[in-house]
Structure 1
């Protein structure tokens, strides 16, 4: 059981080799936290709808996303603010219009399966 941390080494296991495999599968705790954060963002139906629209159609403005999702403009803006802060989407300004797109490759890969 070479992968078992010292603070858990004294605990009894049934299938020690599988415990090591499970620890390896979990990997770095920071990576797990990052994915949990991504899943938290995706767990909200409105944010997921926005991401699916952006992923499948390309860059869209807030007002267009509001029409597409049935949300109001302030709700779309708030959701995009959270997604932008997490690095999932980015906005590109063209004159007075900002169009958003999905920039997180891992999130795009998840959205491919939705």
Structure 2
């Protein structure tokens, strides 16, 4: 089971990947949205912002998210690490319910190139 620190590091690596993105992907992530990532097996939530392709973790809270972020993720810690490392496919994991992504329609459309 991934630890809190491993999950935080995975979010940092994801942010680094988004920052290095170019072309259409870079344009897709150049917006400003609140973000939460609930790690179900650890029962903790990372909250922050996705702004201009950078994820900034602002807080780590025990339990599920307390406020509804504009982009909400939920998964196990191991799945977060595996997604960021490219070991599992996001679209397949999302379609089967292994990973949960909730956002407004416009945000989902903009995020689709990242999936």
Which structure has the bigger radius of gyration?
A: 1
Q: RCO greater where, 1 or 2, for CA within 8 Å and sep 6 or more?
A: 2
Shorter-chain TM-score bucket reads under 0.3
TM-score by length of 1: 0.22
TM-score by length of 2: 0.22
Greater strand fraction, Structure 1 or Structure 2: 2
